[in-house]
A = this chain, B = another copy of it.
Amino acid sequence: MESLEQKISAAVTEAMPLAKSVFETLARDTADPAGGVTRASYGEGEQYAHGLLARTARELDLEVSADPGGNLYMTLPGRDRTAPAWFVGSHLDSVPKGGNFDGAAGVIAGVTALRAIQHAQITPARDITVMGVRAEETGSWFSGSHGGHLGSRMALGLIRPEEFEQAIRVDSGRPLGEHMRECGFDPEAVRGKPPHIDPRRVKGYLELHIEQGPVLERRGIPIGVVTSIRGSSRLPDARCLGAYNHSGGTPQELRQDAVVATAELIQAVDGKWQEVNAAGKDLVFNFGRIYTDAKIHSLAKVPGEVSFSVDIRSGEPDVVAMMREFVLRKADEIAARRNVRFELGRFGVSDPAVLDAGLRRDLHAGCHALGISTLDIASGGGHDAQEFVKAGIPAAMIFVSNDHGSHVAEEAMRLDDFELGTRLLAWRLARED
């Protein structure tokens, strides 16, 4: 008798022309004249993508609906329609001039998996709903005071009422609520009604996404099982203040040199990273911006001020907390020794989301059964999955190898790797448990 693995692998291969066709149509019809694709959150490209996926789902005889926030749901009914359902999803918006795969790959993988389950003539034990999430790329599209991941947070009841007015689309200058209404959705209903997704009615959430970093690509491994979505602690506007002085005439030991002090802080964090990394813990850090004052600085002047940013991320909450402590303590120590002052500001903190251990074990078992080589990997970027974690829903993520990073037109996922990820997804969904 044919094994589940054999059936699913064959069925996904059979469904791949569908995936390929949707990817191509989406790329063509949301192409940006300046390169890449542009699918604005609650804008033209995202609307088109939702329409395309809904049409595709209807052609597959899936049940299609949307919530008041505009999130799309495409459901393959299971045998027990009252049992908590699987949710599979990702977002359909993109950054401006972005790549075709970031987000869309997860929705297309979901629909392809459902098609494969149909091909394999399997009726799943419970409903499987593929979700096309709205407005995930909020870092690119919305300024103002909002909590990001607007679409999934609306579906899960995590959005604050004021965000509909306070999130401002950067291209139009108008609030989220207006853009939602223009697309035919209803911010009042989102605010007024219970959340569309009731966590008690969800078995689990699975999201396939391209890896945004280079780890899988460099190691030649097609699929990653995500351990956690890194939390961050950020100092967007840190400064070091010393004193400007003649650089030739001021002895080194009498200087209050903001650049040397800040360089020491950066080096100290790098040294700490080496220690944490060697201990097998997850950590990245970034001093993405650093600048002396262009109106005052000069070659021959001791730098009296430097501005910089700090971004510390880890999948492990205790590691981020420890690093915050480290930065504060080290800055104090350097300031005292070098006679400067650090004005770091307050850390902006977002907590890491640890993905469900049981689902991660399932995905590893699936990779083993399907002969897919895989790797545990932390996600550096944020994803809708972390909102499901916050809502108390077991969630897991499958990363697909991708070259050139994400948020760029050049992102490059191979369909062969996507196929392996979709097999893994379909395999888990088709299982009886």
Contact of A251 among B263, B284, B294, B299 (CB under 8 A): B284
Beta-carbon contact of B303 and A290 below 8 Å: yes
Nearest CB in chain B to that of A291: its residue: B291
Beta-carbon contact of A288 and B292 below 8 Å: yes
CA distance A248 to B247 in the complex (A): 38
Neighbouring B residues of A251 by C-beta, 8 Å = 213, 215, 284
Neighbouring B residues of A379 by C-beta, 8 Å = 248-249
CA distance A7 to B122 in the complex (A): 115
So how many copies of this chain end up in the complex? 2
Contact of A294 among B212, B246, B277, B291 (CB under 8 A): B291
Produce 1/0 per residue, A266-294, CB < 8 A to B.
11001001000100000111111111101
Neighbouring B residues of A9 by C-beta, 8 Å = none
A89 contacts chain B at the CB level, 8 A cutoff: no
CA distance A259 to B265 in the complex (A): 12
CA distance A277 to B255 in the complex (A): 14
Residues A282-327 near B (CB distance < 8 A)? 283-292, 294, 297-303, 306, 309, 311, 313
Beta-carbon contact of B286 and A302 below 8 Å: yes
A199 contacts chain B at the CB level, 8 A cutoff: no
Neighbouring B residues of A267 by C-beta, 8 Å = 260, 263-264, 267
Neighbouring B residues of A252 by C-beta, 8 Å = 273, 277, 283-285
With A267-B264, A288-B298, A303-B288 as given contacts, are A380 and B250 in contact (CB-CB < 8 Å)? yes
Beta-carbon contact of B264 and A270 below 8 Å: yes
With A250-B214, A290-B259, A407-B246 as given contacts, are A299 and B236 in contact (CB-CB < 8 Å)? yes
A148 contacts chain B at the CB level, 8 A cutoff: no
A129 contacts chain B at the CB level, 8 A cutoff: no
CA distance A287 to B266 in the complex (A): 15
A211 contacts chain B at the CB level, 8 A cutoff: yes
Contact of A212 among B211, B246, B382 (CB under 8 A): B246
User: A-side binding surface: helix, strand, loop or mixed?
Assistant: mixed
Beta-carbon contact of B292 and A292 below 8 Å: no
Beta-carbon contact of A246 and B302 below 8 Å: no
Beta-carbon contact of A311 and B300 below 8 Å: yes
A405 contacts chain B at the CB level, 8 A cutoff: yes
Beta-carbon contact of A266 and B277 below 8 Å: no
A254 contacts chain B at the CB level, 8 A cutoff: yes
Neighbouring B residues of A212 by C-beta, 8 Å = 246, 248-249
Q: Nearest Cβ distance between residue A148 and chain B, in whole angstroms?
A: 12
Beta-carbon contact of A297 and B288 below 8 Å: yes
Beta-carbon contact of A313 and B248 below 8 Å: yes
The 9 closest A-B pairs by CB, nearest first: A248-B380, A213-B249, A249-B380, A212-B249, A263-B266, A247-B286, A291-B291, A263-B263, A299-B309
23 chain-A/chain-B pairs, Cβ below 8 angstroms:
A211-B249, A213-B246, A213-B254, A214-B250, A236-B299, A246-B380, A248-B313, A248-B382, A249-B379, A249-B381, A249-B406, A252-B283, A252-B284, A259-B266, A260-B270, A263-B266, A264-B267, A288-B298, A288-B299, A289-B298, A290-B292, A291-B292, A291-B294
